[in-house]
Amino acid sequence: MILELLIGLCLLGSVVLFVTPNRYAGRLAAGWSLLPLALSLLMYAGFSGQGNALLGGQLAYETTVQWVSLGPYTLNWHVGLDGISMPLIALSTVLTTAAILSAWTPIEERENQFYGLVLFLEAGLIGVFAVLDFFVWFVFWEAVLVPMYFLVAIWGGPRRKYAAIKFFVYTNVASLVMFIGFFTLVFGLGDSIASLDMPAIAQALRAGELGSLAGVGPGTLKTLAFAAMFAGFAVKVPIVPVHTWLPDAHVEAPTPVSVLLAGVLLKMGTYALLRFNFTMLPDVAQQYAAIIALFAVVSVIYGALLALAQQDLKRIVAYSSVSSMGYVILGLVAYTVYGVGGATFQMLSHGLISGLLFACVGVIYNTTHTRMVDDMSGMADRMPVTTSMFVAGSFAYMGLPLTSGFLGEYFVFLGTFHADFPGAAWFTAIAMFGIVIVAGYLLYAMQRTLFGPFSVKTAHADGGAMRTDGGEGSGSEAEHDIDRAAAHDIVPLAMLLALVIVLGVAPEISFGMIRDAVGPLVTAGGAG
Amino acid sequence: MTGGLGVGVLQTAPPIGDWVALAPVLLLALTALALFVIDSVDPDDASGGGALAGTAAVGTLLALVAAIALLIAGIGQGQGGALRLYGGQLIVDGMALFFTVIFTSVATLVIVASYDYLRDRVYQAEYYVLMLLATTGMALMASSGSLATVFISLELASLPSYALVAFLKDNRGSVEAGIKYFLIGALSSAIFAYGISLVYGATGRLGLEAIARSLSGGTQLVGILGVGVLMVAGGFAFKTASVPFHFWAPEAYEGAPAPVSAFLSSASKAAGFVVAFRVFAVAFSPEAVVASVDWTLAFWLLAAVTMTLGNFAAATQDKVKRMLAYSSVGHAGYVLIGLAALNSGQNGLVLGASMIHLLVYGFMNTGAFLFVALAEYWEVGRTFEDYNGLGTQAPIACVAMTVFMFSLAGLPVGGGFMSKYFILVGAVGTGHFLLAALLLINSALSLYYYSRVVRSLWFEEPANSIGIEGYPLGLYAAVVGAAVVTFLLLPGIFLVSDAAISAASALFV
């Protein structure tokens, strides 16, 4: 019942916040978000699951209740956690609190609705990671889109409506493609399943019970379904060439929303790829491993090159997410403990680090009202704490040892190098080159914005429509107004940075349970 | 009453008195009469409509409770458990009660909302009486056991509706809509009556089950029967606003007072469907007439054309009410899949899915029209642009409208997602892949125009500052109530799905 309590707390908070006066909304939201945070950490501490959720592992906090029985398939409320979903749920609650705190300064209109939607989003995210019945899972998967659409479209930048609708259409079409792909499998399984329970489907598929559908044999059917689901999830991840919604959404979204978008929403895509494509259809994944690895490596390199070409700090971080998600795909396709486990660890690590970087960019933007690299320099003089956080976060992104970023990428490379699909070592080598580019654009951006003589060309040209600077009188010439950030802006940065370092020093905290959960997957997947 | 019900569960013979089984209908009729009395005692109405609206709301609410109680008690349900009253002229079974729940729920919401909408208008008593009589007619339609009672109850539901549409008699649009609705209604009634007479000519029977028995032996008069069946179908197409008799709907819904539009597009449409379900599933049951008149093909075509035409027309509108009217045509097309997919081995499932959709639709569509009533009350205007920026002025009502829009489009924020899924499962499960694909494509298209409303409410800046005068309690209560039920029907769909499917299965013995 504890997972239901967790989701219920978020939903209730969303309703309560919606009717809270704007003045108190920020503080109440932060306070309320501590409840799911504390609960998820307690669950993390008391986690007792073993094995993989879809492959007959022992689930933690499991509930199964029949919901609707209609037609050939029963729909159940089936939730439960394994070592893959538990860390991701903790990540969601941590980042929600961080996002809410970092929203105190920039969000100055309709605060109650903003925080209400953020908590609604949190409920959806937890649902996606916890639910194990396909239909209910799909409900949560789609329900996440709705608050995200509003968050971008109401509180976003000048081109917010375009960005919101692009995000919505891209991901919604992708969902439809994925839905069709999955139901191809379900219909192909015929009578061997009686519900849309994901573990049952995964086990039936791995037991080779897929029949033919409409004259198409099981082999082709699997490949088609794999392709449809891969295409659907690739949009969410995103993988080049279906990444174009991401920079638009990120640039237009208010920074706290970018934190959640990069931190957790992208993980929905990789999580779903892991659960559906790579767990349910391992043979197809291995058959086409080289092609998938090619997509991954192209994402790594092309995303990094795109980031190198950007002027806008937010776009830099956004494109670098495309690059980092490429590593996750590369790790998944390796089918080794360190590959898949490393990919999962990289999801966590990237969630924390990209959340940290977006929050830093947000803190800087709050006072300078510009994100352009050209428009500022020497921020270290005026905002020393924020600057140090930014530098630490960037180094974590580059993979400095003792940060989680290093371990995430290290595990992935280790796992992929030993993978047995053709050319694995070559793919790994090329992907490693991505790190060099990452270091290039991050160092370049830091050097120009944070260090050197202080100057800011503050720009109302950028004209963030919802964020005129709260009547404090910081006009366009007021360079002297650029000052240290408030404590509540620093808290989320410090919180995320602390977690990055903790995971970098003591990876076993999460890698232990991750390894336990991916173990059955890779042994059953056939590769060592 | 409860004592009678307790016994009723145990017995198989007529378990309860006629008047208990018909309690919802009787309560509705009695409330209408009570309203006459109140109006004659206090014609000037010192309470400003409060006594009338209160009585009407209590009456419909009691009827709703009675219908739910009968459903829970299992009266008339199960295979062969239907109660046949008055020589089979009226039937009380799961389907009749299920639809009575829809009608009385919609009527309650509309009446609660009308209290604010009608304030300071004349002829309030007449308004409520007409609405209750129409609801009585609809409840009777759901219980009709012969083509004679079908026709009479259909007229009882229709005639008050014509007057209700023309209720704003100083308003040109309202009167024009009333006239159009009446003329097309009279024409379709004539077609329907002629169809009945042809069926009578071919079978010599009016009772639905009697017709089925007479047809099961085959008939020599296939031509006459076929024309009759088609004409009867045409009558239903009018009542449910389906192609080819849909063109009155946008005019009537747009011209009528918004609460009346809500009532017509939800309850009246459901009433048309319940009779269609009963007549086509029982009297012209697919097994009996498949050799002579295969009407499922006709409904297949109607479903495909209706949903496509309704959605494309809705996408091109610039007035919200007219968009909702065309979307209502589109939803009629989704429901028609239930009839088109009959005779494919899963009758209970496909028909039950359509019933569930009508129930959910009863709440989400009524709520949407009542939000339009709220906007008319504020006099903000009728187009999408006029709704710009309402979200900042009236956030709670706008959240409710957002739930309605997304649920109508089939996003998982309301029961509309589940009911569309059920229809889809039914269509795919019976091999109607083309209809299923059309349903998906149309749903995707509908997201475009429904989200236009959402975008206006929340994202656009108002052209000139809107002044909203007051937050009318009745309208708000109805809109928010409908939104809460719409949302709760997503997790709570299992509460109604079993009842709907077993009620639908019971028609096919």
pLDDT (tens digit per residue) in B166-205: 998 888 889 999 999 999 999 999 999 999 999 999 888 8
Q: At residue B45, does pLDDT exceed 70?
A: no
pLDDT of residue A461: 43
Query: Would the CB atoms of B422 and A161 count as touching at under 8 Å?
Result: no
Rounded to the nearest angstrom, the minimum Cα separation between B463 and chain A is: 16
In a domain, A469, yes or no: no
Domain range for residue A162?
2-463+479-525
Residue A72 lies in a domain: yes
| Rg value, chain B, Cα | 22
pLDDT band at A82 (very low <50, low <70, confident <90, very high): very high
- Which pLDDT belongs to residue B12? 43
Residue with tokens 């919606």: A18
Q: Which of B388, B418, B420 to mutate to test the interface with A (most CBs of A within 10 A)?
A: B418
Q: Does a structural domain hold residue A473?
A: no
Share of chain B above pLDDT 70, in %: 94
- What is the chain A residue with the closest CA to B413? A143
- Chain A residue at shortest CA distance from B352: A70
Query: Rounded distance, CA A276 to CA A356, Å?
Result: 29
Question: Based on the structure, what is the number of domains in chain A?
Answer: 1
A62 at interface of B, judged by CB pairs closer than 8 A: no
pLDDT for A161:
86
Give B320-323's long-range contacts (Cβ < 8 A, gap of 24+).
B320/B372, B320/B375, B320/B382, B320/B383, B320/B384, B320/B387, B320/B453, B321/B253, B321/B254, B321/B258, B321/B261, B321/B369, B321/B372, B321/B382, B322/B250, B322/B253, B322/B254, B323/B384, B323/B449, B323/B452, B323/B453
Q: Above 60 in pLDDT, residue A101?
A: yes
Domain assignment of residue A471, yes or no: no
Give pLDDT tens digits for A303-328.
Answer: 999 999 998 999 999 999 999 999 99
pLDDT at A527: 45
Confidence bin at A472 (pLDDT 50/70/90)? very low
> Which pLDDT score is estimated for A458?
64
Nearest to residue B88, comparing CAs of B156, B6, B147, B154? B147
pLDDT-derived band of residue B47, with 50, 70 and 90 as boundaries? low
Over residues A48-66, the pLDDT tens digits come to 989 899 988 899 999 999 8
d(C-alpha A55, C-alpha A517), whole Å: 9
Residue B279 is given by DSSP the state I
For B441, nearest residue in chain A (alpha carbons): A176
The rounded distance, in Å, linking the Cα atoms of B148 and B259 is 30
Mutation for B interface: A70, A113, A162, A213, most B CBs within 10 A: A70
Domain ranges, ordered by start, for chain B: 294-509
Average pLDDT over residues A345-364: 94
- The pLDDT of residue B439: 92
Q: Which value, in Å, is the radius of gyration of the alpha carbons in chain A? A: 22
In a domain, A271, yes or no: yes
Average pLDDT across chain B, whole number: 88
> Among A69, A113, A153, whose Cβ lies nearest the Cβ of B459?
A153
Pairwise CA distance, residues A393 & A146, whole Å: 30
Mean pLDDT, residues A480-500: 86
Interface mutation vs chain A, best among B402, B445, B459, B502, most A CBs within 10 Å: B459
Q: What is the pLDDT of residue A390?
A: 93
Collect all residues of chain B within an 8 Å Cβ-Cβ radius of residue A123.
none
Nearest chain B residue to A190 by CA: give it: B429
Q: Does A365 touch chain B (CB under 8 A)?
A: no
Euclidean distance between CA atoms B185 and A188, whole angstroms: 48
CA distance A281 to chain B (A): 25
> pLDDT tens, B135-147?
999 999 999 999 9
pLDDT, residue B9, reads 41
Average pLDDT over residues B253-259: 91
The 10s digit of each residue's pLDDT in A139-188 is 999 889 889 999 998 898 888 888 888 888 888 889 889 988 998 888 88
A138 with B412: Cβ contact below 8 A = yes
pLDDT average, residue stretch A288-298: 93
Please check whether residue A515 lies inside any domain of the structure: yes
Question: Which residues in chain B have Cβ-Cβ distances shorter than 8 Å to A72?
Answer: 425, 429
Supply the pLDDT for residue A406.
Answer: 92
**Min distance B136 CA to chain A CA atoms (Å):** 32
Find which of B411, B434, B461, B501 to mutate to test the A interface (most A CBs within 10 Å of its CB): B411
Residue B3 pLDDT greater than 80, yes or no = no
- pLDDT single digits (tens) B449-489: 998 899 888 888 877 666 777 788 889 999 999 999 999 99
- Could you tell me the CA-to-CA distances from A269 to A263, A275, B33, B267 in Å, in that order? 12, 10, 61, 42
Inter-chain contacts counted by CB atoms under 8 A, chains A and B: 58
Predicted local distance difference test score (pLDDT) of residue B310: 93
The answer to the question of residue A358 being in a domain is yes
Cα–Cα dist B71/B499, whole Å:
8
pLDDT at A464 over 50: no
Examine residue A470 and state whether it is found in any structural domain, yes or no: no
The one-character DSSP state at A190 is G
Of A69, A146, A176, nearest to B406 by CB-CB distance is A146
Q: Note whether B490 contacts A18, CB cutoff 8 Å.
A: no
Q: Which SS3 state, helix, strand or coil, does residue A399 take?
A: coil
Least Cα separation, residue B295 to chain A (angstroms): 24
- What distances in angstroms separate CA B152 from CA A439, B98, B138, B145, B303, one per listed residue? 81, 21, 11, 12, 27
Instruction: Compare B320 and B86 and report the one with higher pLDDT.
Output: B320
Q: Do A67 and B412 touch (CB under 8 A)?
A: no
Upstream peptide bond of A241 is cis (omega within 30 degrees of 0): yes
What pLDDT is recorded for position A57? 86
pLDDT at residue number B313: 93
